[in-house]
Amino acid sequence: MVSLLHIGWMLVLILAALPVAVLLVQAVAAMKRTRVTSLHTEWRPSVAVLVPAHNEAQGIAATIASIRQQLRDGDRLLIVADNCDDDTVEVALAAGAAVLERSNLEQRGKGYALDYGVQHLAHNPPDVVLMIDADCRLLEGTIDRLACLAMTTLRPVQALDLMQARADGGLKMRIAEFAWIVKNHVRPLGFLRLGLPCQLMGTGMAFPWTLIEKAGLATGHLAEDMQLGIEMARRNAAPIFCPEACVISYFPQGEEAARMQRTRWEHGHMSMILQHGLPLLVQGLRRGDRMLIALALDMCVPPVALLTLATFALFFGAVVTYFVFDWMTPLLLASASLLGLTLAVLLAWQRFGRHVVSLNDLLSATTYIVWKLPLYLKFLVSRQVEWVRAKRDAD
């Protein structure tokens, strides 16, 4: 009986160590400095920018202005006003964008809005379709870089997607910004350095028309972006990361808005791990497809706060079993996982996060993890399965 318990405990620790190992590999690879390639865009493919918008009247004008200044002759900007009951349509039209209205209370979510927009574009398709969220700002050259790379590789291209805490944001929001950097910058950059794909992030995405016209976009899944990336990889077109292109948005200030936003993202991510992680890994191994294997391993790395919580819990569990059963091997494995996670986070902070949080802030991140604990417990007892728009600060 004790032997079976020992074997089972070792298997749990080995499985828990896998996402830590993936994160560490990504963090180490991301430390490598490479020269930014110059952008030659005398010619670039035609572009249509799709912006799904549900009650975004307060901020969509700024997003439209950010996009329009990067468009060229023949490009199009289409706002898909999805189930809006505010002034989104009027504000978007006044800002100079074309607007497509959609009303379907049974099929709600960004995936349905994007599918509606793609069907509209099919009457006169562009070379490349870009998808930008209605609360994002684009850095200079983002559209050119995404469009050119998508057309030359014939793969989906993901821009660097950053969320920033506002100047008056507290410690929790700054820790959240650093965690976002780890997820959306450090990890995909590490895989890029290794010649591996990235997850799609929901905004700042570019697709050759020949790929997106056949995509299964019409879904209300909380992680429709990750689902789409998997679909593309299975069609031998795994997404590629382009850190030189960047879209930026801001975390909401309100506690309730932040909670809603994090719940949607993280419940969607954890559901994807449970539903698709192992099947995708098995499929990749059977096909000998390193792109699918890499996506599966990357997907199985949970949010940093949850990974930290789980790693510390397993370490303390290993300490207890050492004193009760004198099991040294589990303690060594749990200690190695904790050390690997600490090293990965410190590497990410040293290179990419020092401007966001201090080392003392990072060491006091316990409050951030405790703040998110109810979110993880809710996943076990009442997980969110339907898409709900997070409140904006102006709501």
Q: pTM for the full model?
A: 0.90
HSE value, Cβ hemisphere, 13 Å, CA-based, for 241: 23
Is the model's pLDDT at 362 over the cut of 80?
A: yes
Decide if 187 is inside a domain.
yes
Residue 283 resides in a domain: no
The average pLDDT across 170-198 equals 94
Determine, yes or no, domain membership for 244: yes
User: Quick one: average pLDDT of 99-110?
Assistant: 89
- What tens digit of pLDDT does each residue of 3-50 get? 888 889 999 999 999 999 999 999 999 998 776 666 665 789 999 999
3-state class of 22 per DSSP? helix
Query: Do the Cβ atoms of 377 and 306 come closer than 8 Å?
Result: no
Q: Is residue 331 part of a domain?
A: no
User: What pLDDT sits at residue 306?
Assistant: 86
Mean of pLDDT values over 243-258 = 80
Q: Would 373 be classed as within a structural domain?
A: no
Q: How far apart are CA 35 and CA 253, in angstroms?
A: 36
- Residue 353, domain member (yes or no): no
Domain contains 1: no
Q: pLDDT tens across 40-67, in order?
A: 657 899 999 999 999 999 999 999 999 9
Question: Average pLDDT, whole number, for the chain?
Answer: 88
Q: How far apart are CA 62 and CA 222, in angstroms?
A: 26
249 alpha-carbon distance from chain centroid: 13
Extended strands (E) in the chain: 47-53, 76-82, 98-102, 128-131, 137-138, 157-164, 205-208, 240-250
Q: How far apart are alpha carbons 134 and 154 in whole angstroms?
A: 26
State pLDDT tens for residues 113-156.
999 999 999 999 999 999 999 999 999 999 999 999 999 999 99
- What is the mean predicted confidence (pLDDT) over 238-263? 80
pLDDT digits (tens, 9 = 90+) for 288-314: 999 999 999 999 998 888 899 899 999
Percent of the chain at pLDDT > 70 equals 87
pLDDT band at 356 (very low <50, low <70, confident <90, very high): very high
Of 328, 79, 110, nearest to 224 by C-alpha is: 110
Give me the phi and psi of 77, to 5 degrees please.
-125, 120
Domain of 138 in residue numbering reads as 47-277
- Residue 388 pLDDT level (bands cut at 50, 70, 90): low
Per-residue pLDDT at 42: 72
Checking if the pLDDT of 257 tops 60, the result is: no
Provide the CATH number for the domain around residue 216: 3.90.550.10
Q: Report how many domains make up the chain.
A: 1
Q: What is the pLDDT of residue 276?
A: 80
Name the band, by pLDDT with cuts 50, 70 and 90, for residue 270.
confident
In a domain, 21, yes or no: no
The predicted pLDDT at position 389 comes to: 54
Indicate if the pLDDT at residue 244 is higher than 60. Answer: yes
Say which range, 37-46, 216-225, 320-329, 370-379, has the weakest mean pLDDT: 370-379
| Confidence at residue 116, expressed as pLDDT on a 0 to 100 scale | 95
> Which pLDDT score is estimated for 392?
53
pLDDT higher than 70, residue 70: yes
